[in-house]
Copies of this chain bind each other. A is one copy, B any other.
C-alpha cells in the first residue's frame, strides 16, 4: 500500500496546485488553463519536486486529455464537421506543411544531419487540440463554424503528424519503408471512417442503444467504455489516443439521452483534466532552459513554431475571411503534449540530444501558454466579422442549431 499512498499523494498535490492556479488566474482575469499549467511547472520536478512524472501520473494526464476530447466529441455532430470539410483539410494540410518545412530548414541551417532535422520538423508540426479545445470551450466557441474547422483540422493534423513521426522514426533507425507508411495511412483513415460512419449510423438507427442495458440508466458508462476502448485502439494503430476518444464522443453524441450523458460526463472530465494541464507544466525543465545559448535557441524555435503554424493555418482558412482565419490560425498554434511526446520519441531513438529535447519541450509549453490570453478577442472579432444572414455560431439567425441549444458568444 505504500506505493499507492505515494501516488495518491502526488495526485492530491497536482490537483490542488492546478485548481489553485485556476483560482488565481480567474481572479486576475487570465485564462484558467494557463494558471493550471504554471502550477504544474511550480510543483513539478524542476522547481519544487512535489510531483513526479511516473507511469501513474502520466496515465492520469492521458485520461484527462482523452476525456476532454471525448467531451468535445459529444458536442460535435458529424454533418457539422463534414460541412467544413474542405476548409478543415486546407487548414490541416498547410498547417502541417509550413512548420515541417520551417523545422527542416532550421535543422539544416544549424548543421544537423537529415535524421535530426526531420525529428525537429516533426516536433514543430503537431498541434495539441486539447489545449485549444479547453480554452475554446471556456469561451463557448466550440460550436461555431470556426470551432468546427479547428476540430476537423486537428484530426487531419494528427493523421499527418503520425505519418511524419513514423517517417522520422524510420529514418532514425535506418529502416524506412514507404509500404509501411502507406499501410499506416490506410489503417488510420479506415479506422476514422468506419468508426464515424458505422458508429453514428448504428446509433441513428437505434438512438436508445446505449441505454438498453440495465446497468446503464444514462449513456454515460457505455460511453466511457467506448471512449477507453477507442482511445486504446487509436493509440495502438499509431494515432493519438485522443482521436479515438473524440470519435467515441461523436458516436455517443447521437444517443437520445445525450444531455443526461453530458451532465454525468462533466464532473468526471472536470476531475481528470487538471491532471493533464498540470502534467504539461511539470514537463518543463526550468534549469536546462536558463543557459544563454539554449535560451536563444528556444526563442528562435518558438518564434518559428508560432509563425509557421499561424501562417500555414491562416492561409488554409483565408477564404473564411481574415477574422475567422486569424482565430483558426492562432488556435492551431499550441503544440502541448504532442510536441513533448514527439521530442521524447526523438530522444529515445537517439535522433536528438537532451539540449534539443529541452528546447522542444520549452517550445511546446510556450506555444501552449501564449494562445489562450488572445483567444477571447479573436473569438469576438470573428463573430463581429461574420456577414449577416450567416451566424458565426452555425445556422442562420433565428433558427436553433440541431442541438436545440443556442450557444452564446461572449462579448
Binding site for B on A (CB under 8 A): 1-9, 11-12, 15-16, 19, 22-23, 26-27, 32, 55-56, 58-59, 62-63, 66, 213-216, 220-222, 224-225, 228-229, 231-233, 235-236, 240-241, 264-268, 270-271, 341
Which residue in chain B gives the minimum CB-CB distance to A238?
B1
Sampled A-B contacts (25; CB under 8 Å): A1-B235, A4-B62, A4-B235, A8-B63, A8-B228, A8-B232, A8-B241, A9-B232, A12-B228, A15-B225, A15-B228, A16-B225, A16-B229, A19-B221, A19-B222, A23-B214, A55-B55, A55-B56, A56-B59, A220-B270, A220-B271, A221-B270, A221-B271, A264-B266, A264-B267
A228 nearest in chain B by CB position? B12
Residue in B22, B229, B267 whose beta carbon sits within 8 Å of that of A12 in the complex:
B229
Query: A267 contacts which chain B residues (CB < 8 A)?
Result: 220, 264-265, 267-268
Contact of A225 among B19, B62, B264 (CB under 8 A): B19
Distance in angstroms between the alpha carbons of A23 and B7 in the assembled complex: 32
Given A16-B225, A215-B23, verify A271-B270 contact (CB < 8 Å).
no
Q: In chain B, what residue has the closest Cβ to A56?
A: B59
Neighbouring B residues of A23 by C-beta, 8 Å: 213-215
User: With A19-B221, A224-B15 as given contacts, are A55 and B9 in contact (CB-CB < 8 Å)?
Assistant: no
A341, B225: Cβ atoms closer than 8 Å? no
Interface of A is mostly: helix
Distance of A228 Cα from B15 Cα, bound (Å): 9
Residues of B within 8 A of A9 (CB): 229, 232-233, 236
Known contacts A11-B228, A228-B15; A236 and B22 CB within 8 A of each other: no
Which residue of B has the minimal Cβ distance to A54? B55
Number of copies: 2
With beta carbons under 8 angstroms apart, the residue of B1, B3, B268 that contacts A341 is: B1
User: Contact at A4–B241, with CB atoms within 8 Å?
Assistant: yes
The residues of B that contact A221 with a CB separation of less than 8 Å are 15, 19, 270-271
- The listed residue with most B CB atoms (<10 A of its CB), out of A1, A19, A213, A266, is A1
The CA of A6 and the CA of B235, in the complex, are separated in Å by 9
Q: Enumerate chain B residues within 8 angstroms of A7, measured Cβ to Cβ.
A: 55, 59
Bound-state Cα–Cα, A46 to B289, Å? 49
Contacts of A236 in B (CB 8 A): 5, 9
Q: Which residues of B contact A215 (CB under 8 A)?
A: 19, 22-23, 26, 32
- A23-B213, A228-B11, A267-B264 in contact; A235/B59 too (CB < 8 A)? no
Known contacts A7-B59, A12-B228; 10 further A-B pairs (Cβ under 8 A) = A1-B241, A4-B59, A5-B232, A8-B231, A8-B235, A11-B228, A26-B215, A56-B56, A221-B271, A268-B268
Chain B residues near A220 (CB, 8 Å)?
267, 270-271
